[in-house]
Homo-oligomer: A and B are copies of this chain.
Amino acid sequence: MESVDLRAARTALREAAPLVHCLTNTVVQTLTANALLAAGAAPAMVDAPQEAGDFAALASAVLVNVGTVHERTAEAMRIAARSAGTAGTPWVLDPVAVGALAYRTALAAELVTLRPTVVRGNASEVMALAGAGAGGRGVDSTAGADDAAAAAAELARRTGGVVAVSGAVDLLTDGSRTVRVGGGSALLTRTTGAGCALGALVAAYLAVTDDPLAGAVAAHAHVALAAERAAVTAGGPGTFAAAWLDALDAVDGDTLAKADVRIAG
């Protein structure tokens, strides 16, 4: 991989307006939907087992986020992931707090066998999912993204997909190639659901790019650049969220092309 055509990815997202089926936690549904709308995608949250399979087959991409998972939504996630696999629809697994809690850790391990196109999490979650660590204390990572580099590469080889580790500098790998995305703002970590919305944006970009690593990189770069812009005008963590949505909308292809993306291998 010599470069990622961020400009083309941004333009394709706006033109295609991909329908992203989100099975995600109830804390972040609103921000996730608004982030997708701001970027130019079309969100839909459908998490009944009776509907998840049909809708995943209809959608352009699927997000599975286990943040507030329970019995019914776990079943809907299994059905949606299988349906996406059968339909050849790209899907993202966000293993929120995996490692810290046995129930979701078992579920995430099962979902990994369905081969998500991208796994996106923090270092603790990725290490736990790869079997390389016991996880953090919930949603916080107690390690940096690069600490999870080996676990991420191993997990990516196992799924045949991409693993994206969020941190001050994000690390993304498909098991052979590695890309780092810098920039962003610490205010992202003080906005509930910013990381979860990133997972949804990864799904949106997967729908409009051929190379899942390139799609995942575009989403991370988009989120980071928008956060930098929003941090300039925000008066604190509360006003940051709305400013970040405005900036997700405002960042165009030319702006995105200037993102801090470093390709290694």
Q: Please report A residues at the B interface, Cβ cutoff 8 Å.
A: 19, 25-31, 33-34, 37-38, 42-51, 54-55, 58, 67-72, 97, 100-104, 137-140, 190-193, 234-239, 241-250
Contact = CB atoms under 8 A, between A and B. Distances in A.
Contacts of A27: 29-30, 33, 45
Given A43-B139, A239-B243, 13 more contacts: A25-B45, A27-B29, A27-B45, A30-B192, A34-B241, A37-B191, A38-B236, A45-B67, A46-B101, A47-B70, A50-B71, A51-B101, A236-B247
A246 B29 CA distance: 22
A153 to B, nearest CB: 29
A48 to B, nearest CB: 4
Contacts of A100: 55, 58
Number of copies: 3
Contact of A45 (B46, B50, B68): B68
A249 B103 CA distance: 34
A27 B54 CA distance: 20
A137 B58 contact: yes
Nearest to A243: B238
A43 to B, nearest CB: 7
Contact of A37 (B103, B192, B235): B192
B193 A30 contact: yes
Contacts of A192: 30, 33-34, 37, 43
Contacts of A38: 190, 236-238
A45 B67 CA distance: 8
Which of A33, A49, A236, A243 neighbours the largest number of chain B CB atoms within 10 Å of its CB? A236
Nearest to A67: B45
A30 B33 contact: no
A199 to B, nearest CB: 16
Contacts of A248: 238
